[in-house]
Amino acid sequence: MSTWHYMKNGAQNGPVTVDEVRSLLTSGGLNSDALVWREGLAGWVPANTLPEFSGAAQPAVVAAAVPPPPGVATPETADVEKNKIFAILAYLPPLLFLVPLLAARESKFAMYHCNQGLVLTLAAFALWIVNMMLGMILLFIPVVGWIMLSMLHLVVFFGIVALAVIGIVNAANGACKPLPVIGGRFTLVK
């Protein structure tokens, strides 16, 4: 059973079950256009647009602004436009996360991406060390070890590149989304 979140009086509530949301809609505790969200949805949507809640809601009274899903920050538009290039630079190797750290320290948007770039750099460095240690062992296994080591190097390389590209796309789109696997877990730069 999936867990839901809902907006009421400008505040996020949840997690709750689908039955609890349906009960709130039926009793009038929520309007039919109350914003709801669960994992798997791209963002907050009005309850009356989902089949789970069709026919269960009272008529809407007032429309609300659509907030981002939980865990996704909403940067200010002026901050994004002014510091987008610094946010993008934070993901370029190996130490360009220092550029926004030094040049756009006052920007929450740039600092969010600077933190993600730093975490990505540290993760890449840690994986490189593990890769080298495994490489010392695998090199003693003729042919098979060399093939495994080469494949391991490729997987790590393309994984780091993929995360950097995701970060660059998020920064270019003005979004503060955490990177898959490593994003949102550590805050090293505030």
Average predicted confidence (pLDDT) for the chain: 82
Give the integer Cα–Cα distance in Å for 27 and 4.
Answer: 17
Number of domains in the chain: 2
DSSP string of 6-44, one letter each residue? EEETTEEEEEE-HHHHHHHHHHTSSBTT-EEEETTSSS-
159 & 86 share domain = yes
42 & 114 share domain = no
**Would 85 be classed as within a structural domain?**
yes
47 & 86 share domain = no
| Domain membership of residue 134 as a residue range | 77-172
**Would 127 be classed as within a structural domain?**
yes
108 & 166 share domain = yes
Q: Which of 15-29, 62-76, 99-113 has the lowest mean pLDDT?
A: 62-76
**Would 115 be classed as within a structural domain?**
yes
Checking if the pLDDT of 140 tops 70, the result is yes
SS3 content of the chain, % helix, strand, coil (to 5): 50, 10, 40
What pLDDT, on the 0 to 100 scale, is given for residue 57? Answer: 57
**Would 60 be classed as within a structural domain?**
no
Mean pLDDT of 126-150: 83
**Would 185 be classed as within a structural domain?**
no
Reported as a single tens digit per residue, the pLDDT across 32-76 is: 888 999 988 888 888 888 888 877 655 544 444 555 555 555 667
What pTM, to 2 d.p., does this model score?
0.57
43 & 119 share domain = no
**Would 118 be classed as within a structural domain?**
yes
The one-letter amino acid code at 39 reads E
Give the integer Cα–Cα distance in Å for 98 and 118.
Answer: 8
In sequence order, what are the beta bridge partners of 11?
8
**Would 142 be classed as within a structural domain?**
yes
Instruction: Judge if the upstream peptide bond of residue 69 is cis by omega within 30 degrees of 0.
Output: no
- Where does a domain end: 18, 38, 53? 53
In sequence order, what are the beta bridge partners of 72?
none
What pLDDT, on the 0 to 100 scale, is given for residue 63? Answer: 45
81 & 49 share domain = no
161 & 96 share domain = yes
Domain holding 15: CATH number?
A: 3.30.1490
Reported as a single tens digit per residue, the pLDDT across 170-186 is: 888 888 888 888 876 76
- Give Cα separations from 66 to 1, 6, 15, 72, 103 (angstroms): 25, 11, 18, 13, 32
**Would 70 be classed as within a structural domain?**
no
